[in-house]
């Protein structure tokens, strides 16, 4: 019996293709995937080109795909997979470097459902450490809805399109705040949504994307390169500024604290909520308390119910609530839980979210950015 055998098999087994350039890693990942009886490994592939051929022939339900491979690497193979044979893909990333983080983020933006960090490089004898993470990622991937993506231009980022760069260094505290929550499918959704938003001179944006430490800084840089908003990884004690967006760092909860005329960001190591840190609920609840009716909460694609009680707090305080619709969500759990718990002023597809957000901001009461809260 394999050292990974520990759970009785369920009734339905999802088929998996394992892709890695290392024969040792293909064998080890295959053992982990098959260990619980939930999944059947129907084949393996040694590189991206081989993966495309195997997917076409074997039609697996799921694919595990190594990021770093010779020839057609994981990122390039993912682009063709999502165009021609769309299905849930879990990336395996060596991590540990900015380059690895960037490649993983590019994969998530291009439709990968999740990623698992290899603990110590491309050929690792201690991959068993992350066996549970891999199995959890595959379980989540087996529940998602995947649609075709067009092939992108080799990961190239469009040029920034900030319309009023001179305004941003002088920006003061915001009159309005938008806060967003996202999990599975969120990197791709945010990579589409943020570049479609203007750098409002009176509005700040706060984002919680469920993501581990080490990745949120790179994610913020990638979003900043394509957005009119100036996007940062949030830092403790930093003043909240209009025209800027802040992403909660992996492993830290993000909140805002007053006074209202000089709000600042506060990071915390307090316990996880809903099994994640950062979680959206602490942020949304702090925004509701400080900004009240001058806030909009938005819950995007993701698994679970993080953001539901926070959106309820914002709407109870007089703010507005938006949820992504089921059809455009990779996983509709979070937005649906938020809609049921809090209601919503708008339910919109990913393509329509920028317009929906602009409409809800227009419905907020007018307040001077420097006026103290009542």
For the chain, the straight-line distance linking the first and the last C-alpha, in angstroms and rounded, comes to 66
Tokens 């599975």 correspond to what residue?
184
Q: What does each C-alpha distance from 144 to 52, 58, 72 come to in angstroms?
A: 21, 20, 26
**Pairwise CA distance, residues 220 & 128, whole Å:** 31
Cβ atoms 307, 334 nearer than 8 A: yes
* Catalytic residue IDs: 183, 210, 306
**Pairwise CA distance, residues 207 & 327, whole Å:** 22
**Pairwise CA distance, residues 203 & 199, whole Å:** 8
Strand partners, 208: 181
Cβ atoms 258, 288 nearer than 8 A: no
DSSP state of 307: T
**Pairwise CA distance, residues 52 & 82, whole Å:** 11
Strand partners, 321: 297
Tokens 């750098």 correspond to what residue?
199
**Pairwise CA distance, residues 275 & 306, whole Å:** 9
Q: What does each C-alpha distance from 101 to 147, 178, 267 come to in angstroms?
A: 24, 27, 22
Which of 139, 153, 136, 165 has the alpha carbon at shortest distance from 75? 153
């Amino acid at each position: 019996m394999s050292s990974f055998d520990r759970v009785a098999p369920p009734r339905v087994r999802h088929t998996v293709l394992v892709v890695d350039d290392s024969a040792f890693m293909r064998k080890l990942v295959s053992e982990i995937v098959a260990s619980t009886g939930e999944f059947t490994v129907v084949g393996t592939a040694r590189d991206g080109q081989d993966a495309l051929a195997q997917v076409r022939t074997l039609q697996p339900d799921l694919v595990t795909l190594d990021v770093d491979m010779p020839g057609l690497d994981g990122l390039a193979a993912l682009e063709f997979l999502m165009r021609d044979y769309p299905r849930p893909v879990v990336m395996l990333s060596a991590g540990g470097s900015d380059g690895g983080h960037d490649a993983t983020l590019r994969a998530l933006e291009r439709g990968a459902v999740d990623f698992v960090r290899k603990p110590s490089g491309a050929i690792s004898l201690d991959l068993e450490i992350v066996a549970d993470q891999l199995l959890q990622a595959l379980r989540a991937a087996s529940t998602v809805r995947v649609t075709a993506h067009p092939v992108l231009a080799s990961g190239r980022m469009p040029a920034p399109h900030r319309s009023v760069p001179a305004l941003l260094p002088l920006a003061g505290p915001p009159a309005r705040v938008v806060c967003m929550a996202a999990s599975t499918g969120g990197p791709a959704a945010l990579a589409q949504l943020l570049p479609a938003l203007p750098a409002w001179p009176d509005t700040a944006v706060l984002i919680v994307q469920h993501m581990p430490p080490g990745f949120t800084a790179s994610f913020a840089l990638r979003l900043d390169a394509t957005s009119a908003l100036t996007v940062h990884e949030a830092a403790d004690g930093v003043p909240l500024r209009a025209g800027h967006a802040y992403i909660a760092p992996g492993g830290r909860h993000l909140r805002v604290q007053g006074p209202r005329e000089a709000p600042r960001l506060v990071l915390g190591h307090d316990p996880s909520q809903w099994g994640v840190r950062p979680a959206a609920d602490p942020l949304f609840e702090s925004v509701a308390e400080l900004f009240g009716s001058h806030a909009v909460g938005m819950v995007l694609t993701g698994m679970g119910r993080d953001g539901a009680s926070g959106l309820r707090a914002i709407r109870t305080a007089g703010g507005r609530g938006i949820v992504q619709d089921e059809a455009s969500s990779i996983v509709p759990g979070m937005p649906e839980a938020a809609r049921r718990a809090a209601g919503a002023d708008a339910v919109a597809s990913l393509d329509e979210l920028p317009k929906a957000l602009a409409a809800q901001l227009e419905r907020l009461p007018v307040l001077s950015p420097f006026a103290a809260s009542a």
